[in-house]
Amino acid sequence: MCFLCVCYVSVGVQYCVCVCEELISSFAFRKQWRRSSVVIQNTSKTPTGVHSPSRETMSSPKPQEGICGLAQAVGPESWSKVSCPCCISAQVEPLVLIQLADNVQPNTKQWLMAMISANQKSGGAGLLAHPGEDASWGRIVVAAPRCTLLKATEDLGLCKADKDGNMITFSFNDLDNFSSVDDMQKFLTLAQRQYIVKYQLESMRAVRDQRIPGIAGDKGVLKSRQNIFQKLQKVRVILDVFPLRDEKKLQALGREWYSQKRLWGQPLDSIHTYFGGSVAFYFSFLDFYTWALVPPAVLGLFVTFFLPKWGSTDGNKGDPFVPEAIPQSPEADSDQPVSGLMVQAIFSMIWSTVFMELWKRRSAALSYRWGSITLTERFQEPRPGFQGDLGINPVTGRLEPLFPDWKRQVRVGLVSLPVVLLFLGLVVLGMLGFYYCEAVMSSFHKASGSIITAILSYLPSIIHIVYTNMLGNIYRNVAQRLTDWENHREESSYQNHHTLKVLVFTFFNNFAVLFHIAFFKQDLNLLRKRLSSLLILSQAVNQFTEVFVPYIVDRFYGSAEKELKEDDPEADHLQAEGSLPPFPGLFAEYIELLVQFGYLSLFSCVYPLTAVLLLLNNITEIRGDAYKICRLFRKPFSPPESGMGVWQAAFEVLGFVSVVSNCWLLLLAPRVQALTDDAGLSPATVVICAVMVEHVLILLKLILAFMIPDEPDWVRIKREQIEYCSMKAVSQKVSITMLIITCSAHVTSLYLL
């Protein structure tokens, strides 16, 4: 047990350290930011608010005014010019901020702005750039003209509502068929507009060998087809890129989301509009999962309070939160036909299957609703980090780096996979080593019994924790490098492979001990105690970091902001923007849910109140996460996504593991053991029966998963409509040139007449 305690303390400390680090970095960043902007203001000598006729400098809109306020400040005349007549508009919406290094030369900034404004044929991004206060000011504000947004919508394969309200794949040529194409703020969500800007920036490629002005030496050389944005990030010209927040919308969203008193439901569409696909899918899943916890929670309460308990002769009968001892002798409940454990185990298996199948349906419906049903990432430009020999992509016919799939597959299979397995082996080895050392130490302590040996008996735990931490750090590094080296063409594929690697390791780290107790020690009582204390402790830590800390930070942060304003009344909106730490991504959030789901589906039968605790936790988790992403971090870029990606698979795999685990726990159940003892079956026969039951259950699970369609009928019909239209479009593809030739021939003949 001392190992566990140390573990908990270590987890708690790690959490706190993380939070503190975030806070510190946030303030360090803020300070640095403020300092740098002051330096810039000193060097540019242009007091904000004084308008020079040639270019509009930025006034200081109040942060509350958000993008709209900024739009008024950053007047249209100072933006780079648009070539396309339909894109000229009175008001330009600033979407993304590029943070440059302090030492960047004005001519480098000018060159970069020219590239951003240049059209895509000449290697540019086709966007609008604004120098901010000054040509030497270390930031560039970027906006997007209408045509670029529309074309990128088509490139990304987004679906948009047509005049009849059906979501169909957007087509630039068929523009008139779609609704609200004149108002980009209605047509695309804020998150989509901002993602498109990032997408356009990242697809800038040099059209020929050239030099970046203002950067000396080899660092300034750009080869033909080299990714400009990646290069500038590598040579530290661009420090950061992030979407601008819209304070007004954010406040409205916050009111709807976490400030209200309602317990259920989240404004998912608003979240999708403001934060984009991946964030919206995370919160949708969290929402769905919380709902899905109600049946197991009710059952858990029923089993705990109404079914005659195991160990009903125990003293702590009245308090269900105290883990009860499971009697080793089965007499205690041999008069009832089923025990709570059996009910829970069987329910867990069915529940996890049905839950995942229903979520798939929900996910398909959301994906249709948010227009991400026909994404075409594989036909887009490769992600910036993709390496390969330049060549013609056989599918799209574009010149781009190429890398054969089989090579990647070989790297994944023959290098990454063994390395990951090696690390998993090291985790298991560490655990076994710890148990061995602990046994040695405790026997040693028992033999001598001095204070020194008592202290020494903590040594294995400490060594194990240090070992686990070191291993974790090394592994994270290795996983990152391996995934880089695997050289994935698509960002989503890169993310999936990286996530999968970290995920498997984290999962192993979290569950190795519980599996060890359940399958090797075969001690249900210990499992029960450990599970319940793990749950309660991790919930407490979780509540602390996700609800209490944000609250404190908010008060602190709020006053800090106030102080900032009083201190420096000209501090502009963009400054407040950059002062927040970047969003750390959804990995930690998802892994928390996955570990929860693991506790529930794998082991909950020994502790029926798991679902109740998780339910309570999730209700606060939703608010906490919402508050965190809205207030504590910078707004992240969030690509349109059609689902949870690799997380979906992870949850499904857990569903299968749950069948194995529950079968095993059933086998260990005192009630079942009593039955088999009565029947006079040998242990080997009982195990064989359990294995057969397990196989049959897995088969039934597969059949059940197969029987429940992965998407609702109406989504299937809509998807098939899109596919049918696409098929028809191919067959109706009259060669347009032919038609034009015929027409011009007619016209010519008319002329001759």
Name the residues that contact a second copy, by CB under 8 A: 154, 157, 169, 171-174, 176-177, 376, 378-379, 394-396, 404-406, 409, 412-413, 417, 660, 682-684, 686-688, 691, 695, 703, 707, 709, 713, 716-717, 720-721, 724-727, 729-736, 739, 743, 746-747, 750-751
Instruction: With CA atoms as reference, report the closest residue to 89 among 97, 98, 81.
Output: 81
Closest to a second copy by CB, 477 vs 726, is: 726
Which residues sit opposite 160 in a β-bridge?
168
Residues 6+ apart with CB under 8 A from 325: 311, 314, 525
**CA torsion angle for 228, 234, 236, 242 (degrees, to 10)?**
70
CB 130 within 8 A of CB 141: yes
Query: Within 10 Å of residue 476's Cβ, how many Cβ atoms?
Result: 15
Residue 664: CB minimum distance to a second copy, A: 9
Residue 310: CB minimum distance to a second copy, A: 23
Residue 185: CB minimum distance to a second copy, A: 23
For residues 400 and 387, give the distance between their C-alpha atoms in angstroms, rounded to a whole number. Answer: 10
Closest to a second copy by CB, 218 vs 405, is: 405
Residue 483: CB minimum distance to a second copy, A: 16
Residue 265: CB minimum distance to a second copy, A: 27
Q: What is the DSSP letter of 162?
A: B
Residue 285: CB minimum distance to a second copy, A: 24
Closest to a second copy by CB, 241 vs 690, is: 690
CA 161 vs. chain centroid, Å, equals 27
Closest to a second copy by CB, 263 vs 750, is: 750
Closest to a second copy by CB, 50 vs 679, is: 679
Closest to a second copy by CB, 540 vs 649, is: 649
Closest to a second copy by CB, 1 vs 753, is: 753
**CA torsion angle for 264, 269, 273, 278 (degrees, to 10)?**
70
Strand, coil or helix: 62: coil
Closest to a second copy by CB, 637 vs 647, is: 647
Amino acid identity, residue 257? W
β pairing state of 389-392 and 399-402: antiparallel
Closest to a second copy by CB, 481 vs 746, is: 746
Residue 396: CB minimum distance to a second copy, A: 6
Closest to a second copy by CB, 135 vs 392, is: 392
Residue 711: CB minimum distance to a second copy, A: 10
Closest to a second copy by CB, 447 vs 707, is: 707
Residue 726: CB minimum distance to a second copy, A: 5
CB 137 within 8 A of CB 40: yes
Cβ burial 359-391 (10 Å sphere, 16+ → b, else e): bbbbbbbbbbebbbbbbebeebbbbbebeeeee
Residue 429: CB minimum distance to a second copy, A: 17
In 334-458, alpha helices (H):
340-369, 405-411, 417-448, 451-456
CB 220 within 8 A of CB 236: no
Q: E strands within 23-110?
A: 96-100
For residues 492 and 644, give the distance between their C-alpha atoms in angstroms, rounded to a whole number. Answer: 11
Looking up tokens 């020690």 gives 521
Residue 361: CB minimum distance to a second copy, A: 11
> Helices 491-515 and 417-448 sit at what angle, rounded to 10 degrees?
20
Strand, coil or helix: 105: coil
Strand, coil or helix: 31: helix
For residues 230 and 491, give the distance between their C-alpha atoms in angstroms, rounded to a whole number. Answer: 14
